[in-house]
């Protein structure tokens, strides 16, 4: 390889610095309006939308919520949520494998945020890319279903290290699967022992009350810190 | 493939940096980035994405990308030792504790660029 000669200019700049304008604006807008934004990340079909369908109607009894749905194509998920009277805004990325901070800013800057307590961003189904891109959220939640394999936390460590909670979905299927649910928990702990883990079934409702309490406690803690 | 988005982010960050310079540097020949292994970037894919995206940038066209990686380093909150992560688990290699902090491997920055000397 030919060595290139020239002047060396030190840069030392964060690769994501072009996104920081947007994440800064998002965090400032959310803080001003006292809104908690959560970034929900998991593979396609792990049960992100079903989880929101199961939890939000109860959360919305006392808290105004909005869901931003990210998908490569279709508005099916937003329509599913709307059918349960959950306010949802669909973002179609047309190929992008994750939602970007600029996209999120463009959406929330146009929304009526009055009285809103929570924004749930259901990111594009993907365990890799969304973990890399800060969208101005308060925290990430990793979603993993019991059908995906106990080794997934080890295969996707960035997501599990950088999340505040992990939700293990579809626990109603455990009697029909040849999986070790304890190994899921152990592998999550082997990547991030500080992660709060919720085994959940959106179908039966098992475990959803604990997720609800955690979300409520999160908002209360942030309100006190503010 | 998030390598494409990462390459785009590098291009954008550099265009911002060069745009903010009081004196425009010479043609950019080479860009060096430091990527920690927590980011799970496929080097070859990032190189391909760089070739495609930099060719569209007036300030970066024709430049090459040098990628320096950094290992994941765990600082154990139990025994205080810092060790390179070996294997799949985020546990202290010295004492086996899970209460570890990542002190290396998250690096994600543009280190430097080589530019042609202006006459």
Could you tell me if A88 and A4 are in contact, meaning their C-beta atoms sit under 8 angstroms apart?
Answer: no
The range of the structural domain enclosing residue B46 comes to 2-71+105-115
Q: What value does the mean pLDDT of chain B take?
A: 93
How many CB pairs (< 8 A) connect A and B? 108
pLDDT band of A1, cuts 50, 70, 90: very low
Chain B interface test: which of A3, A12, A13 (most B C-beta within 10 Å): A13
| Paired sense of beta strands B82-84 and A139-145, if any | unpaired
Would residue B85 count as lying in a domain? Answer: no
Coil/strand/helix, residue A139: strand
In a domain, B27, yes or no: yes
Q: How many domains does chain B have?
A: 1
Instruction: Give the Cα separation of A32 and B70 in Å (integer).
Output: 38
Assess if residue B93 is contained within a domain: no
Of A3 and A165, the one with more pLDDT:
A165
pLDDT of residue B119: 58
- DSSP structure class, residue A59: H
Task: Give domain status of residue B91, yes or no.
Answer: no
User: Chain B contact for A96, CB < 8 A?
Assistant: yes
With an 8 Å Cβ cutoff, are B1 and A97 in contact?
Answer: yes
pLDDT average, residue stretch A97-122: 95
* Position A225 pLDDT exceeds 90: no
CB contact under 8 Å between A128 and B40, yes or no, is yes
Say whether pLDDT at A162 is over 90. Answer: yes
CA distance A84 to chain B (A): 33
The verdict on residue B82 lying in a domain is no
CB pair distance less than 8 Å for B13 and A18 = yes
Residue A2 has pLDDT above 50, yes or no: no
Q: What is the pLDDT of residue A114?
A: 93
Contact assignment for B98 to A189 by CB distance below 8 Å: yes
Residue by residue, pLDDT tens for chain B (119 residues) are: 689 989 999 999 999 899 888 888 888 999 999 999 999 889 999 999 999 999 999 889 999 999 999 999 999 999 999 999 988 999 999 999 999 999 999 999 999 999 998 65
- Which domains, from first to last, does chain A contain? 2-218 (3.40.50.300)
Nearest Cα neighbor of A193 from B95, B87, B97 is: B97
B38 contact A CB<8A:
yes
CA distance linking residue A83 with residue B115, whole number of Å? 57
ipTM: 0.88
Residue B16 lies in a domain: yes
Q: pTM surpassing 0.90?
A: yes
Residues of A in contact with B110 (CB under 8 A): 11-15
The answer to whether position B33 is within a domain reads yes
CATH code of the domain covering residue B41 = 3.30.2320.50
Is it the case that residue A3 has pLDDT exceeding 60?
no
Q: Which residues of B touch A189 (CB under 8 A)?
A: 98
Show contacts of A208-211: CB within 8 Å, 24+ apart: A208/A51, A208/A54, A208/A55, A208/A58, A211/A51, A211/A55, A211/A165, A211/A167
- pLDDT band, residue A93 (cuts 50/70/90): confident
Give helix A17-32 / helix A101-108 axis angle, nearest 10°. 30
Contact A15, B108 (CB under 8 A): yes
- Residue B57, in any domain of the structure: yes
CB-based contact, B90 to chain A, within 8 Å? yes
How long is chain A?
226
pLDDT at A110 over 70: yes
| B30–chain A Cβ distance below 8 A for any pair | yes
């Amino acid at each position: 390889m030919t060595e290139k000669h020239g002047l060396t200019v030190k840069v030392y700049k964060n690769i994501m610095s072009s996104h920081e304008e947007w994440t800064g604006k998002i965090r400032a807008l959310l803080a001003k309006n006292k809104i908690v934004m959560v970034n929900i990340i998991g593979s396609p079909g792990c049960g992100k939308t079903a989880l929101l369908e199961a939890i939000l109607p109860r959360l919305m009894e006392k808290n105004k919520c909005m869901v931003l749905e990210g998908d490569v194509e279709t508005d099916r998920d937003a329509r599913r949520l709307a059918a349960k009277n959950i306010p949802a805004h669909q973002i179609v990325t047309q190929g992008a494998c994750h939602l970007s901070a600029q996209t999120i800013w463009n959406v929330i800057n146009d929304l009526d945020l009055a009285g809103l307590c929570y924004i749930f961003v259901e990111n594009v189904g993907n365990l890799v890319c969304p973990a890399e891109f800060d969208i101005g959220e308060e925290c990430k939640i990793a979603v993993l279903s019991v059908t995906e394999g106990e080794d997934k936390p080890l295969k996707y460590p960035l997501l599990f290290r950088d999340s505040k909670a992990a939700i293990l979905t579809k626990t109603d299927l455990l009697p029909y699967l040849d999986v070790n649910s304890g190994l899921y928990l152990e592998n999550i702990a082997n990547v991030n022992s500080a992660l709060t883990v919720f085994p959940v079934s959106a179908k039966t409702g098992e475990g959803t009350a604990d997720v609800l309490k955690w979300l409520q406690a999160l908002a209360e803690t942030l309100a006190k810190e503010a | 493939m998030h390598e494409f988005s990462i390459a785009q982010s590098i291009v954008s960050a550099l265009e911002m940096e060069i745009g903010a310079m009081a004196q425009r540097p010479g043609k950019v020949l080479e860009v060096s980035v430091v990527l920690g292994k927590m980011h799970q970037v496929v080097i070859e894919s990032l190189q391909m994405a760089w070739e495609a995206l930099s060719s569209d940038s007036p300030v970066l066209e024709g430049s090459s990308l040098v990628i320096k990686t950094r290992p994941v380093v765990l600082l154990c909150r139990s025994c205080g030792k810092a060790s390179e992560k070996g294997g799949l688990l985020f546990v202290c290699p010295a004492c086996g504790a899970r209460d570890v902090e990542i002190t290396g491997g998250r690096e994600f920055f543009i280190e430097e660029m080589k530019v042609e000397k202006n006459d």
